[in-house]
Amino acid sequence: MSKKHRRHRQIPQQEARTQYLLDQFTEADVDSWKEMGRLVNDFEIVRYHVLEAIRQSRKSELIEALASHSVRNVDLAAFCRIVDYQYSMAPLSSRGSLIGGGRFNIGRDCDQSSAANFPALYAATSHRTALLEKFGQPAKNSPLEARDLALRPHSSYSFVQLEGHVREVLILDDSRQLKAFAKIISEFQLPEHVLKLAARAGYGQDDLLVLNRKVLFRTLLDPGWRFLPSQFGVPSNPQIFGAMIREAGFQGIMYPSARGGDRCMAVFPENLERTDSAIRITPPHPEGLEHAELNASTWRELI
């Protein structure tokens, strides 16, 4: 094309720019938010310690109520575990649960002056549920996969099938199982100074205590259970419940997955002592696997 037929785009002296106001606030607003954050933090920590003192004073009643739950000897043939690939040679180790804590065990993310940590080994009844429990659950009809939601880069993982059995497992099927336990905690009351602090922190009356079995059941399966330990360093309701189950001598708790239609189980390795319970990796095993079974003789080496 010749020069005389070329068309040149005329560049305007100044391009028009569109600006959007995303937010607007004052220094007074920031100060107010900081104060509210401090009040919420103070309330959550004070509430935990006040209720923990009450729980300790009524521990024998609470333990007895838990003993009335449905207990079962669970066959592990349908269960499986997913672990990060780097831990493939120790798939029955529960050390990871001590780092960040799990739904029914307390980890080092909680302040040790608030609650002692203890391990748990988690398993699920299907590969899909194990994936969802480990990585998260996409929204319905989302093109994302469970691993896409995890705040971590994609990496390899190992899937292991289990066999064996665990005795003395508490079966958490529905809220009716919690009737006796919930009746006791429904009698808990917060002192006046804590109620005043709650009001200043913006809490409503329905946010303060678990007063019935349905609410208790819902909090035990709450997908947002990590909020309290991660934000305030105190255990969440399911973690407190797990500590009581473990102290009552149960070897595990089986519960509906909050992220799938199947079940999960948390096993307390220390409670396998002096029992014939055993959790085994279904063979064949990779060469060099040191512990293919978690039982009364090996649990100390796997926590």
Per cent of the chain over pLDDT 90 is: 70
pLDDT at 55 over 80: yes
Look at residue 267 in the predicted model and tell me its pLDDT.
98
Residue 2 has pLDDT above 50, yes or no: no
Average confidence (pLDDT) over 252-276: 94
Q: Which of 40-44, 48-52, 110-114 has the lowest mean pLDDT?
A: 110-114
pLDDT grade, residue 45 (50/70/90)? very high
pLDDT at 67 over 80: yes
Rounded mean pLDDT, 30-39? 91
pLDDT in tens, 12-29: 555 667 788 888 888 888
Region of poorest pLDDT, from 41-45, 265-269, 287-291: 287-291
Beta strand ranges found along the chain (DSSP E): 71-75, 80-84, 121-124, 157-171, 252-256, 263-267, 278-281, 293-294
Q: What is the pLDDT of residue 148?
A: 57
Region of residue 26 (phi > 0: left; psi between -120 and 50: alpha; otherwise: beta): beta
Note whether 280 and 292 are within 8 A (CB). yes
Neighbouring residues of 141: CB distance < 8 A, sequence distance ≥ 6: none
Secondary structure of 139-198 in the HEC alphabet? Answer: CCCCCCCHHHHCCCCCCCEEEEEEEEEEEEEEECCCHHHHHHHHHHHCCCCCCHHHHHHH
Mean pLDDT of the chain: 89
Q: How many residues does the chain have?
A: 303
Mean of the pLDDT values across residues 152-173? Answer: 88
pLDDT higher than threshold 60 for residue 11:
no
pLDDT digits (tens, 9 = 90+) for 77-100: 999 999 998 899 999 999 999 998
> What is the identity of the amino acid at 240?
I
Distance from C-alpha of 57 to C-alpha of 225, rounded to nearest angstrom? 25
pLDDT tens column, 188-239:
999 999 999 999 999 998 899 999 999 999 999 999 999 999 999 999 999 9
